[in-house]
Structure 1
Amino acid sequence: MAASTHTVTNQAPPLVGYDVFAADRALVEAVDRHLAPELLDEVREELSALGRTAGSAQAQKWGVLADQNPPELHTHDRYGNRIDEVEFHPSWHRLLGKGVSAGLTAAWNRPGGHLRRAAGFVVWSQVEAGHGCPLSMTHAAVPALRTDPALAAEWEPRLTSTMYDPQLRPAARKPGVLFGMGMTEKQGGSDVRANTTVARPLAEDGTYELTGHKWFCSAPMSDGFLVLAQAPDGLTCFLLPRVLEDGARNVFRVQRLKNKLGNRSNASAEVEFDGTWARRVGHEGRGVRTIIEMVAATRLDCVLGATALMRQAVAQAVHHCTHREAFGSKLIDKPLMRNVLADLALESEAATALAMRLAAAYDDGGEQERAFLRLAVPAAKYWVTKRCTPVVTEALECLGGNGYVEDSGMPRLLRESPLNSIWEGAGNVQALDMLRALQREPAALDAYLREVGQARGADHRLDGAIKNLLTELADLDGIEGRARRLVERFALVLQGALLVRYAPAEVADAFCASRLGGDWGTAFGTLPHSLDLATVVERARPMA
Structure 2
Amino acid sequence: MQQHSFGQTHEVTNQVPPLADYNLFASDAALSAALDREGAAWHRDALLRHGAALTTPDTLALAELANRHPPELFTHSPRGERIDALEFHPSWDTLLSLLRREGLHALPFSDPRSGAMAARCAGYFLHAQIESGSLCPPTMTFASIPVLQREPALFDTLRDKLYTREHDPRDVPLTQKKSAMIGMGMTEKQGGSDVRSNQTRAHATTGGGRGGEYRLVGHKWFFSAPQCDAHLVLARTGDHEGLSCFFVPRFAPDGSKNAVQIQRLKDKLGNRSNASSEVEFLDAFGIMIGDEGRGVPTIIEMANYTRLDCVIGSAALMRAALVQAIHHARHRSAFGRHLADQPLMRNVLADLALESEAATLLFMRLARAFEASADAANAPPAERAWRRIVTPAAKYWVCKRTLEFTGEAMEVWGGNGYVESGPMARFYREAPVNSIWEGSGNVMCLDVLRALEREPEAAQALFAAWQADAQGHPALSAALGKLAAPAGHREGAARRIAQQIVLIAQATLLVKHAPGEIADAFIATRLAEGCGESGRVYGTLPVTFDHAAIIERAFPA
What TM-score, normalized by structure 1, do the two folds share? 0.96
Partner of 1:182: 185
Q: How many aligned positions are there?
A: 536
| 1:106 pairs with 2:114 | no
Secondary structure, aligned partner of 1:8: coil
- For 2:339 and 2:252, how far apart are their aligned partners in 1? 59
8 Å Cα contact 1:170-1:246 kept in structure 2: no
Partner of 2:36: 32
Q: CA deviation at 1:204?
A: 5.6
Bigger drift between 236-245 and 209-218 goes to: 236-245
Secondary structure, aligned partner of 1:399: helix
Q: CA deviation at 1:54?
A: 1.0
Cα distance change of structure 1 residues 451 and 376 upon mapping to structure 2, 3 Å threshold: farther
Amino acid at match of 1:109: S
For residues 214-225 of structure 1, what are the structure 2 equivalents within 5 Å?
214-225=220-231
Amino acid at match of 1:478: H
Give CA deviations for 1:153-174 in whole Å, capped at 9, x if unaligned: 3323322221110112221322
- For 1:315 and 1:522, how far apart are their aligned partners in 2? 22
Partner of 1:50: 50
Partner of 2:475: 461
Secondary structure, aligned partner of 1:522: coil
- For 1:161 and 1:492, how far apart are their aligned partners in 2? 38
Q: Aligned Cα RMSD in Å?
A: 1.5
Amino acid at match of 2:16: A
| 1:148 pairs with 2:151 | yes
8 Å Cα contact 1:458-1:500 kept in structure 2: no
- For 1:71 and 1:162, how far apart are their aligned partners in 2? 23
- For 1:83 and 1:305, how far apart are their aligned partners in 2? 33
| 1:277 pairs with 2:285 | yes
For residues 76-155 of structure 1, what are the structure 2 equivalents within 5 Å?
76-107=76-107, 108-110=109-111, 111=113, 112-155=115-158
- For 2:371 and 2:17, how far apart are their aligned partners in 1? 39
- For 2:161 and 2:468, how far apart are their aligned partners in 1? 41
Give CA deviations for 1:473-512 in whole Å, capped at 9, x if unaligned: x11x211001111110011000001001101112111101
- For 1:484 and 1:372, how far apart are their aligned partners in 2? 18
| 1:266 pairs with 2:274 | yes
8 Å Cα contact 2:372-2:379 kept in structure 1: no
Cα distance change of structure 1 residues 519 and 270 upon mapping to structure 2, 3 Å threshold: same
Q: CA deviation at 1:447?
A: 3.7
Cα distance change of structure 1 residues 414 and 168 upon mapping to structure 2, 3 Å threshold: same
> Which of 527, 536, 539 is matched with 2:550 structurally?
536
| 1:212 pairs with 2:224 | no
> Which of 428, 434, 440 is matched with 2:454 structurally?
440
| 1:511 pairs with 2:522 | yes
- For 2:189 and 2:10, how far apart are their aligned partners in 1? 54
Give CA deviations for 1:302-326 in whole Å, capped at 9, x if unaligned: 0011011000000000011111122
Partner of 2:327: 319
Give CA deviations for 1:132-175 in whole Å, capped at 9, x if unaligned: 11110011001221332222333233222211101122213222
8 Å Cα contact 2:463-2:484 kept in structure 1: no
Q: CA deviation at 1:49?
A: 1.0
8 Å Cα contact 1:139-1:160 kept in structure 2: no
- For 1:376 and 1:454, how far apart are their aligned partners in 2? 18
Q: Indicate the percent of aligned positions where both proteins have the same amino acid.
A: 50
Gaps of 5+ in 1: none
- For 2:360 and 2:207, how far apart are their aligned partners in 1? 48
| 1:191 pairs with 2:194 | yes
- For 2:103 and 2:386, how far apart are their aligned partners in 1? 26
Gaps of 5+ in 2: none
What TM-score, normalized by structure 2, do the two folds share? 0.94
8 Å Cα contact 1:386-1:418 kept in structure 2: yes
Q: CA deviation at 1:23?
A: 1.1
Secondary structure, aligned partner of 2:110: coil
Cα distance change of structure 1 residues 54 and 328 upon mapping to structure 2, 3 Å threshold: same
- For 1:530 and 1:388, how far apart are their aligned partners in 2? 26
Cα distance change of structure 1 residues 224 and 454 upon mapping to structure 2, 3 Å threshold: farther
> Which of 336, 339, 345 is matched with 2:344 structurally?
336
- For 1:496 and 1:174, how far apart are their aligned partners in 2? 47
For residues 280-359 of structure 1, what are the structure 2 equivalents within 5 Å?
280-359=288-367
- For 1:260 and 1:542, how far apart are their aligned partners in 2? 36
- For 2:119 and 2:57, how far apart are their aligned partners in 1? 24
Amino acid at match of 1:481: G
> Which of 411, 421, 424 is matched with 1:397 structurally?
411
Bigger drift between 253-262 and 370-379 goes to: 370-379
8 Å Cα contact 2:403-2:431 kept in structure 1: yes
Partner of 1:367: 379
> Which of 426, 429, 437 is matched with 2:440 structurally?
426
- For 1:453 and 1:67, how far apart are their aligned partners in 2? 46
Bigger drift between 460-469 and 359-368 goes to: 359-368
- For 1:146 and 1:188, how far apart are their aligned partners in 2? 29
Give CA deviations for 1:355-396 in whole Å, capped at 9, x if unaligned: 111012122235122343100110100000000010000000
- For 2:316 and 2:425, how far apart are their aligned partners in 1? 15
- For 2:170 and 2:123, how far apart are their aligned partners in 1? 25
Partner of 2:430: 416
- For 1:480 and 1:452, how far apart are their aligned partners in 2? 24
8 Å Cα contact 2:189-2:221 kept in structure 1: yes
| 1:202 pairs with 2:205 | yes
